Amino acid sequence: EAGVAQSPRYKIIEKRQSVAFWCNPISGHATLYWYQQILGQGPKLLIQFQNNGVVDDSQLPKDRFSAERLKGVDSTLKIQPAKLEDSAVYLCASSFTGGNQPQHFGDGTRLSIL
């Protein structure tokens, strides 16, 4: 079974620029999550999709972050404009049906803001 795929692995941008991350979940997984992991901290949930609908985006900074999951499969997370404090690893996870099913993580995109 192929795991969660994310790209790019690394991204370096200057503050106020925009950036986008892509995630392809495990085949058949209905629920998709985006997490932000700042160095030395545990992941923090940004947004959760069930198929192509948003379940929870309460911790997503909506003035600069946006996410979509068209057709209920792949997802993109965008930051525009980026701030220095957005430097982090952005992790995508998926689970079969959501709820309390185990979540499987990709290896993340490491974002550095200059």
- In this complex, which beta carbon is closest to other proteins, that of residue 69 or of residue 106? 106
Cα–Cα distance, 15 to 84 (Å, whole number): 6
CB of 16 to other proteins, least distance (A): 27
Residue 56 binding other proteins, by CB under 8 A: yes
Give me the half-sphere count of Cα atoms (radius 13 Å) on the Cβ side of residue 44.
Answer: 14
Cβ atoms 96, 29 nearer than 8 A: yes
Q: How far is the CB of 92 from other proteins (least distance, A)?
A: 8
Residue 100, both tokens: 């309390």
Least distance between other proteins and beta carbon 39 (Å)? 11
- Positive or negative, the CA dihedral 46, 50, 51, 53 is negative
Among 77, 82, 103, 113, indicate the residue that binds other proteins (CB under 8 A).
103
| Closer residue to other proteins (CB): 24 or 31 | 31
